[in-house]
């Protein structure tokens, strides 16, 4: 990363489009209750168990509907036969549920269930993904990328590395103002007006704000 500051590699927020691409048995992310989890180790642990099938079927998707948001637990119902409270899992049993019906083989779960285990947690799901245009005033190249509304500018610069690996050698400006890398786009005064456009019956991409990037000529290409 020539000329780029050593930003944190811990990504705090993800867009749904970033989560959905992790949908293979050897790379599974899922989101629920506003958080993103890497369940790949769980899949490997239960690779030969039927209980992992619902996880595989919903890989890369948001499964908040499986949970009671008030307590962070799986939804429950009253079992029609036992009249006991049981997890509601319409897509099939899940890892760490064990035997639900009364039986002498029942054993307590002696570890944290996967849906509450912090070791799988990798970040938060953005409350709003938004597009931003980035225009290189030196070359005229323009790119439009999707970012999280919670992303500070330095995180957006990290996201932009795939377009320009020397992006740390540029000054970022909006309407002539140098932007603060520690602030989000909104905090830097770059509005997201898509809702207003929708209210006016205009396409939401009618206008996407553009950040101008200026080369500092610090010879990082050498």
Averaged over successive runs of 10 residues, the pLDDT of the chain (222 residues) comes to 41 91 96 97 94 96 96 89 83 83 66 93 96 94 95 94 87 96 96 93 93 79 48
Domain boundary among 76, 103, 125: 125
Dist CA 220 CA 4 (whole Å):
10
Give me the pLDDT at residue 222, please: 45
Domain assignment present for 185: yes
Same domain, 63 and 23: yes
CATH number, domain of 62, equals: 3.10.120.10
Number of H helices, E strands in the chain: 5, 14
pTM of the full structure? 0.83
Q: Do 37 and 67 touch, CB atoms closer than 8 A?
A: no
pLDDT in tens, 79-124: 787 777 888 999 989 998 866 666 666 666 678 999 999 999 999 9
Same domain, 114 and 166: no
Give me the pLDDT at residue 165, please: 86
DSSP structural state of residue 109: -
Same domain, 103 and 135: no
Same domain, 69 and 160: no
Give me the pLDDT at residue 35, please: 96
Where do the DSSP E strands lie in 16-169? 23-24, 27-32, 35-38, 67-68, 73-74, 76-78, 85-87, 121-125, 129-136, 142-148
Number of domains, the chain: 2
Q: Do 15 and 127 touch, CB atoms closer than 8 A?
A: no
Dist CA 101 CA 132 (whole Å):
53
Give me the pLDDT at residue 97, please: 86
Domain of residue 181, residue span = 128-215
Dist CA 170 CA 157 (whole Å):
10
Give me the pLDDT at residue 164, please: 86
Q: Do 25 and 43 touch, CB atoms closer than 8 A?
A: yes
Same domain, 36 and 133: no
Same domain, 85 and 184: no
Same domain, 106 and 137: no
């Amino acid at each position: 990363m020539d000329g780029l500051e050593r930003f944190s590699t811990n990504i705090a927020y993800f867009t749904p489009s970033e989560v959905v691409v992790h949908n293979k048995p050897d790379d599974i992310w899922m989101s629920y209750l506003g958080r993103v989890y890497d369940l790949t180790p769980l899949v490997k642990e239960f690779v030969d168990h039927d209980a992992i099938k619902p996880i595989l079927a919903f890989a890369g998707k948001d499964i908040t509907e499986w949970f009671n948001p008030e307590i962070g637990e799986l939804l429950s119902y009253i079992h029609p036969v036992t009249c006991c409270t049981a997890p509601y899992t319409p897509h099939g049993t899940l890892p760490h549920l064990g035997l639900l019906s009364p039986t002498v083989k029942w054993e307590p779960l002696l570890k944290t269930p996967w849906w509450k285990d912090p070791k799988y947690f990798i970040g938060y799901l953005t409350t709003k993904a938004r597009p931003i245009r980035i225009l290189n005033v030196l070359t005229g190249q323009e790119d439009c990328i999707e970012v999280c509304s919670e992303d500070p500018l330095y995180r957006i610069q990290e996201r932009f590395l795939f377009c320009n690996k020397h992006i740390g050698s540029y000054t970022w400006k909006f309407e002539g103002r140098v932007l603060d890398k520690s602030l989000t786009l909104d905090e830097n005064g770059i509005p997201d007006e898509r809702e207003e456009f929708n209210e006016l019956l205009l396409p939401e991409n009618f206008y996407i704000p553009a950040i101008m990037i200026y080369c500092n000529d610090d010879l990082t290409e050498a």
